[in-house]
Structure 1
């Protein structure tokens, strides 16, 4: 019996890389996407050392033409994606909305919303036609309520929640399942990206609390994908023990 195939966007670091590793450990072959060829090659080598077959696709989800060409290039069993993990996403800046960067806004909207939509549009029709499949969107606690400085990022993750719910409604007459995993504080390069490379400021985000890891979120995604076919894990909010919401964190 051939292994199932999971396609993970943004798989070169953080939650995406952790998901690729967890699904490989769980018996999947992987299609991993990202913008950095060197990191894709490194992750591919590591996953293959663990026994998985891995295909890499180099593109930015913001580039719809490149994404389309990449997905269209899939042949044979690689075109039959069983699990799509829409992970690629980012936050930029913590300025008040009235002082925000237009460029930061465009990047977040184009990646977190439009990139997710593009990948969904490209992959899900095949799932519907084959009568099987699972879409796992990596949302955020930020999508439940805005927090100070979060404005546009929170709006994009609220959109992820709504788009996930909408897709679940659209495929309710099929066997395709749809899950929204909503992490809280996860220690990856997320905050370094948000603060445009300021590592000291990024480290302060996790000071005084034990945050989640990318592996914690990957475990949740794998659990959802591993549930019996009649079970749909629609939404999971995953927080560190001392985080109560997007804006309430108790630090030591």
Structure 2
């Protein structure tokens, strides 16, 4: 029997790459995202090989999340894997100049949206005594950088929430993994800089960043480890990235 994966934010980047990776291995897919046109195109692409149920969803809307999960067709209802991929960064300004709406949107998506999806799926996994939640975190949840303020804080939440889920789920055979990428080229920077292609491209200039397919490979590996193995955290950077030194102000 095919396993079922639900992937949020499936319309681009890590989410779309994960959908293709799991489809290539015969998984049944539930895909959601905010952009209907991209969702339709991905469903058409993958439905030729595996069963696909796709629907538009903004994970910030708790009522919509609960309704969508409750309305899953019976053949898609027993979700084996939830990939909480929907998330974003907005802006790179210091905290004193940030847009409060950007902060609120990051909190609503990266924290609240992840919570809504997890809470909607988790009881069924526990009842069935099987399942896996893979959260897409970030190295920004461990290592601060200028302008990372609320984005990094949301990913620190995801890291700690993932670990706390493991504590709560001991004895249930439900697994939890937090995948924490570093510099990765997708639409991430384009979204962060609100469509400014020049700024987005500068982020990756002269580098060989991670690709969405790299993260999809890692997610698939974690999901397909033997059932008695739980990968708690995976922190991954391109070889051209390392930890920043401590910053020192020398202005007296």
Aligned counterpart, 1:137:
135
Unmatched 5+ stretches in structure 1: none
Deviations 1:50-91 (A, max 9, x none): x11100021100011111111110131311000000000000
Aligned counterpart, 1:154:
152
Question: Quick one: which of 200, 204, 207 aligns to 1:206?
Answer: 204
Aligned counterpart, 1:26:
25
Paired residue secondary structure (1:6)? strand
Paired residue secondary structure (2:173)? coil
Q: Using the TM superposition, give the Cα deviation of residue 182 of structure 1 relative to its aligned residue in structure 2, in angstroms.
A: 0.3
Deviations 1:202-226 (A, max 9, x none): 0000011100100000000000011
CA contact (8 A) 1:184 1:246 kept: no
Q: TM-score, with normalisation over the residues of structure 1? A: 0.96
Deviations 1:7-49 (A, max 9, x none): 0000000001101111111220100000111111100111123
Q: Using the TM superposition, give the Cα deviation of residue 145 of structure 1 relative to its aligned residue in structure 2, in angstroms.
A: 1.8
Aligned counterpart, 2:69:
71
Distance (whole Å) between structure 2 residues aligned to residue 102 and residue 201 of structure 1: 21
Aligned counterpart, 2:170:
172
Distance (whole Å) between structure 1 residues aligned to residue 177 and residue 244 of structure 2: 20
Q: Using the TM superposition, give the Cα deviation of residue 247 of structure 1 relative to its aligned residue in structure 2, in angstroms.
A: 7.7
Paired residue secondary structure (2:220)? helix
CA contact (8 A) 1:85 1:138 kept: yes
Paired residue secondary structure (2:228)? coil
Distance (whole Å) between structure 2 residues aligned to residue 229 and residue 21 of structure 1: 23
Aligned counterpart, 2:228:
230
Distance (whole Å) between structure 1 residues aligned to residue 73 and residue 189 of structure 2: 37
Aligned counterpart, 2:14:
15
Q: TM-score, with normalisation over the residues of structure 2? A: 0.96
Aligned counterpart, 2:60:
62
Q: Give runs of aligned pairs for residues 85-124 of structure 1, distance below 5 A.
A: 85-124=83-122
Distance (whole Å) between structure 2 residues aligned to residue 40 and residue 246 of structure 1: 37
Aligned Cα RMSD in Å? 1.2
Aligned counterpart, 2:249:
none
Distance (whole Å) between structure 1 residues aligned to residue 34 and residue 80 of structure 2: 23
Q: Using the TM superposition, give the Cα deviation of residue 246 of structure 1 relative to its aligned residue in structure 2, in angstroms.
A: 6.6
Aligned counterpart, 2:38:
39
Unmatched 5+ stretches in structure 2: 247-252
Distance (whole Å) between structure 2 residues aligned to residue 221 and residue 36 of structure 1: 23
